[in-house]
A = this chain, B = another copy of it.
Amino acid sequence: MPSAITGNVAGLVLQATQSDAFSQIQDDVLLSSSLWVNIALAGASILLFVYMGRNVTSTRARMIWGATLMIPLVSISSYLGLASGLTVGFIEMPTGHALAGEEVMSQWGRYLTWALSTPMILVALGTLADVDRSSLLTVVAADIGMCVTGLAAALVTSSLAFRWLFYVVSCAFFVVVLYALLTEWPAAAKQAGTDEIFGTLRVLTVVLWLGYPIIWALGVEGLALVQSVGVTSWGYSALDVFAKYVFAFLLLRWVAANEDTVATPGAGAAAGATPADD
């Protein structure tokens, strides 16, 4: 049957990319170590965080704990996808790019899973600061927009200009997130009495998150000043370790020790005439 043969060809061609990526990653110690170190740390974090949250009972504290526990669970899924070659592809860079005409490995799965994991970080931070729902929703929507346009920037091969146009739009979404983290949310955290830990986590998040667009710009996908896929991958992986597991550990340790502070409704809720979540 000729149509079945065509189907087989399509299947084989598509799956060849996955197997290629898988074996290429396995043969590159620098690259594969950048993935496996995160699989190991995410796995350890899951077990640790379940243990740390065992005595948390109040609603708001459990919400923070639940959102935080999702971070390493999404992360381990993300890195398994990369290491298996499932969410990795080969991109032929457009004319004008430093690696134009070459096939460059693209870890596009990173952008996709950041669209799931970074909202969890923002939900945890926002709940800690007891921000109102409207602000949290807008910031999470902007954050998802940032990741999705980052994915587009990585996948465009038709034109160099469009790669950087998507980069600029992604940064515009990032500015919305930064604005909330730097101006609105600190005020809410102060009212909620969680400003000390919020301040620490905010600095950690803002500084580390600024690293991602910088690595994109300098690495193989951007200006290619760093031309090694392994080094670029380690850049992202190292940021993930601190922005995800260390962040989550600091947050959970504080919540477990200060449950009373987050157990009571934030000052914003008590002061206003309407419920805090209206």
Contacts and interface: CB of A to CB of B under 8 A. Distances in A.
A81 B154 CA distance: 12
A80 B165 contact: yes
Contacts of A29: none
A183 to B, nearest CB: 13
Contact of A89 (B11, B92, B155): B11
State the number of copies, please.
3
18 contacts: A3-B16, A4-B20, A7-B19, A9-B13, A11-B92, A11-B103, A15-B92, A18-B156, A21-B158, A62-B134, A62-B138, A63-B137, A66-B141, A69-B176, A74-B145, A77-B169, A81-B152, A116-B145
Nearest to A85: B158
Given A73-B145, A134-B60, A10 B6 contact: no
A149 interface: yes
Nearest to A272: B59
B277 A269 contact: no
A216 interface: no
Contact of A10 (B17, B74, B148): B17
Contacts of A116: 144-145, 148
B70 A141 contact: yes
A156 B86 contact: yes
Contacts of A155: 86
A120 B137 CA distance: 10
A209 interface: no
Q: Which of A9, A116, A141, A162 has the most CB of B within 10 A?
A: A141
